């Protein structure tokens, strides 16, 4: 299993010089299992991933499963700029998302509707299939199982657990602590995982002072989740737009005082399992 981070920022892209080491694109994580491709979220990092897939495959068709946690802008705003959807008519994209609020296809069409975007969904020539998911376990492909669970976030957000023979990855972004049921669910989702990618948008003091109810977590709670779930390595994710590289460096140092296997997600970072 190879995990690569294409977008790690929360809320809005932040292309400022002081953020470049960790990156300014919003949420997108790619997982490779041999020639199989799994993508988590379609923030602005999804655009950059699309360029690399075009370079890699050229005119050869490919397929990918795309799991969308929820429909807030920072998790979908790369979709209209993902070139393989336009330029790879023989490629196939299998989108998985909850339709609790509306369908993903409807969301894609609406964000590309006039006057917000100059082209519409019909100009995407690649094959697209849309699958409804809810909390529970499904077999994605031979030897690959997906467990989904609801997280504590305004309008809802899904966390995902990808179980393979090579290892277990948990992607749990946009989750606020403090609700007993959600706290239990996210720890169950992360139980024994090799890699836990978890929301650490705020500093603990920011969260306590003025961010309660905004649907995000902080590094101290991320450490609690990894320790209480028995997951092996913690990747801090969904960095706040106002947290520059120096701030994230400090967060990682403090987090490692409590749990040694902690890293902050950075654009271009790869993990091999």
- Structural domains in the chain, CATH included, are 2-266 (3.60.15.10)
Residues of the chain with pLDDT under 70: none
Convert the pLDDT of each residue in 174-191 to its tens digit.
999 999 999 999 999 999
Enter the pTM of the model. Answer: 0.97
* Count of beta carbons in the 10 Å neighbourhood of residue 128: 17
Convert the pLDDT of each residue in 44-83 to its tens digit.
999 999 999 999 999 999 999 999 999 999 999 999 999 9
Strands 233-237 and 195-199: parallel
Sheet holding 136-141, edge to edge: 136-141, 144-151, 157-164, 167-172, 195-199, 233-237, 262-264
- Strand partners for 137: 147
Tell me what pLDDT residue 193 has.
98
Maximal C-alpha separation, the chain: 52
Q: How far apart are CA 35 and CA 64, in angstroms?
A: 10
């Amino acid at each position: 299993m190879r995990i690569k981070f294409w977008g790690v920022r929360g809320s809005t892209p932040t292309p400022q010089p002081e953020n470049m080491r960790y990156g300014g694109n919003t949420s997108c994580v790619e997982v490779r299992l041999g020639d199989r491709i799994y993508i988590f979220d379609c923030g602005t990092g999804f655009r950059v991933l699309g360029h690399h897939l075009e370079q890699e495959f050229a005119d050869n068709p490919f397929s990918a499963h795309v799991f969308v946690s929820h429909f807030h802008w920072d998790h979908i705003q790369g979709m209209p700029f993902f070139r393989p959807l336009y330029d790879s008519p023989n490629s196939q994209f299998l989108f998985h998302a909850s339709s609790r609020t509306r369908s993903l296809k409807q969301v894609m069409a609406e964000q590309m509707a006039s006057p917000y975007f100059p082209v519409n969904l019909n100009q995407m020539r690649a094959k697209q299939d849309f699958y409804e998911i809810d909390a529970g376990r499904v077999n994605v492909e031979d030897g690959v199982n997906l467990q989904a669970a609801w997280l504590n976030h305004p309008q809802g957000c899904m966390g995902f657990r990808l179980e393979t023979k090579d290892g277990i990855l948990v992607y749990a972004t946009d989750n606020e602590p403090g609700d007993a049921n959600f706290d239990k669910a996210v720890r169950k989702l992360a139980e024994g995982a090799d890699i836990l990618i978890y929301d650490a948008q705020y500093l603990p003091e920011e969260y306590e002072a003025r961010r309660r109810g905004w649907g995000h977590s902080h590094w101290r709670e991320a450490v609690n989740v990894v320790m209480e779930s028995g997951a092996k390595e913690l990747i801090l994710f969904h960095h706040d737009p106002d947290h520059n590289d120096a701030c994230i460096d400090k967060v990682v140092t403090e987090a490692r005082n409590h749990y040694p296997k902690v890293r902050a997600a950075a654009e271009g970072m790869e993990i091999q399992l």
